Amino acid sequence: MTIVLASNNAGKIKEIQELLDEHEILSLEDIGFLDEIVEDGDTFLDNALIKAKTVSNFLKEKGLNYPVLADDSGLCVPSLGGKPGIYSARYAGDHDAAASRKKLISRLQNQNDRSAYFICQVIYYQGDDYKSFEGRTYGTILEEEKGSNGFGYDSIFLSDDLHKSFGESSDEEKNKVSHRGRAIQKFVDFIKEK
């Protein structure tokens, strides 16, 4: 099956392609979608749905009937009231991951509770129907970066499952326990049942 992933994020595309290796994954670039999608929803689900609908409408205009897979994900820190949350990618400026990691470490400097979780909301959108799948993974925010694998906050997220940062983990290790991996696994199970 060919699925359009509503993203041009290279790290995310690689991760999802590895998780859905039996399917052909097309990126926004692959289908010629060049517009910026305004994610102005209040929740991860809202933003994933905005992406899915926008890309689905674009495909319909081109006469294509591919299903769309969209996700919105982020890091939530309870002691910071759930921040950065839906603003994870823009926490310290527009998609500046290094600055966002630095800002988060700084905000937690005097906090005893450094617990955090990643959440991923995946939408599978076909026609005007959709299914949503949520994944979460829990851990702690480190005081300094460890490892250089992954992207975003991976190097400062100490995974409860792996007992090391996602930045120190292989793709295979991370995909088994990550928020996106868990949400995609629910999607894969759903596809197999169909």
Q: Which of 95, 98, 141 is nearest to 118 (CA)?
A: 141
Residues 28, 26, 186, 65: is their CA dihedral positive or negative?
positive
Evaluate whether 90 touches 78 at the Cβ level (below 8 Å). no
145: left (phi over 0), alpha (psi -120 to 50) or beta: beta
- The answer, yes or no, to whether the previous bond of 78 is cis (omega within 30 of 0) is no
Among 30, 42, 72, 94, the one annotated catalytic: 72
Residues whose CB falls within 8 Å of the CB of residue 57, separated by 6 or more in sequence, listed in order: none
Q: Smallest Cα–Cα separation from 137: which of 175, 105, 104?
A: 175
Answer yes or no: 72 catalytic: yes
How far apart, in Å, are the Cα atoms of 193 and each of 24, 70, 186, 187, 190? 19, 20, 11, 10, 5
Which residues are tagged catalytic? 72
